[in-house]
Amino acid sequence: MLKTELIELLRNRENSGIEFKRDDVHPDSLAKEVSALLNLEGGHILLGVEDDGTVTGLTRALKEAEEWVMSVCRNNIQPAIIPYWETLIWENDKVVGAITLPADSPDKPYKAKRGTAWVTFVRVGSTSREASREEEARLYQASHLMRYDVKPVVRTGLEQLDLHRIENYFRDVMRQNVPPSGNKEGWTEILLNTDILTEISRKTMATVGGLLLFGEDPHRYLPQAGITATAYPGREKDYATVDEEILRGPLVSIFSRRGKTLERGVIDRAVDFVARNMGTTAWLEGARRHRKKAYPLEAVREAIVNAVAHRDYTITVTDIEISLYSDRLEVISPGRLPNGVTIQKMKQGYRAARNELLKEILRDYGYVEHRGMGVRNRIVQPMREHNGTEPDLIEEESRFTVRLWKERRET
């Protein structure tokens, strides 16, 4: 931005694309203006400028001001953004900070943090206000992001997918006739029709769900794709660990027609990690000592599958976390529960999915329970039968935790 452009912006005052702000405002206030402009057609926020256009200048050091802006845009905007930032010298060595927001932001609606809530704001003239239900729906439609798992992943295509694993799915799991491996045109048509690939502006790209399920290296393009698994010796996190593994790769395994696992995907590798680290519990019946695994694998598997299928993949650079302690197992999924789901509804078998493509394909494999009763039938009931404990289902601001107890606790 040239100084002449800045002069023109100041002269025209605040409007649908220009906002003046001091740089000592609350982060939520700046986030509100950033999100509202992004949800319209972008624009500029000029920091160090009063509402009447008077330049008072930045009160923060230049480096501190930049870091503050970037922190707000990363932590108080969802999905996070990296805006264009520059500073311009005004009269008497006063400095104006300019935040430039693009007009074609693809991930609308952008939400701003307000206290503990995430709110959609829209720009109306020179003011920003909370979006109505209809306005928010239009933003979703305008961005073509009604479902995140069918969103295209840039710089990907058929070449970034594991065709051997895809053939296994269609041929051996779904029992469909498939084209030869070298028939690129035939496979592209099948994958476009099943949302594993998508076409945008005549470019064929892998979808988020397609890459997560069948990608050669999903983590390269989706840094949130993976599971971090750690076993600790005690009841708290510690630098000393019993075992740890970062699980990367496609979610699903390769199976024979008879159901034998030929190559393990991330889900089954995560279950294997828990199985080898969970240990056993022992008890006496008369003079005989009995042992069994600390947790039923059915419950472990369901907790992991739910985390993979229903996590919020818009939260980037954050893995699903599996933590084994001496007294419990925790599976932590980034993001709150989707689509109006509550913990009570989950226990009753309420069926709603954030990632429909993931859920449907995982159901084809048998990972997901068909009737929506997975939590009740595969976690709650098996834990009661196994050791008489109730699993903890905990929803927090930015994550959901399933906690399984190794033994009954004293009340």
279-284-285-288 Cα dihedral, nearest 10 degrees: 90
Write down the domain spans for the chain: 3-143, 150-216, 223-405
DSSP string, 260-282: -EEE--HHHHHHHHHHHHS-EEE
Dihedral sign of CA atoms 263, 264, 266, 269 in order: negative
Q: Tell me which CATH code domain 3-143 carries.
A: 3.30.950.30
Q: In the chain, what percentage of residues exceed pLDDT 70?
A: 94
DSSP bridge partners of 254: 263
Q: Tell me which CATH code domain 223-405 carries.
A: 3.30.565.60
Mean pLDDT of the chain: 90
More confident residue, 137 or 14: 14
| 3-class secondary structure per residue, 111-141 | EEEECCEEEEEEEECCEEEECCHHHHHHHHH
| Residue 285, both tokens | 């019946």
pLDDT tens column, 181-235: 889 999 999 999 999 999 987 899 999 999 999 999 999 999 999 999 999 999 9
Report how far Cα 2 is from the mean position of its chain's Cα atoms. 38
The number of beta carbons lying within 10 Å of the beta carbon of residue 350 is 17
Q: Given a cut of 70, is residue 46 above it in pLDDT?
A: yes
| Residue 299, both tokens | 């419950």
Least confident interval from 15-29, 128-142, 294-308: 128-142
Q: Say how many Å lie between the first and final Cα of the chain, rounded.
A: 65
pLDDT tens column, 60-98: 999 999 999 999 999 999 999 989 999 999 988 899 999
The residues, ordered by sequence, that sit 6+ positions from 386 with a Cβ below 8 Å of its Cβ are: 292, 295, 296, 299
For the chain, helix, strand, coil in percent to 5 are 35, 25, 40
Least confident interval from 257-266, 289-298, 369-378: 369-378
pLDDT tens column, 330-381: 999 998 787 667 888 888 776 667 788 999 999 999 998 766 678 989 999 9
| Residue 321, both tokens | 């976390």
Report how far Cα 26 is from the mean position of its chain's Cα atoms. 26
| Residue 162, both tokens | 């594991």
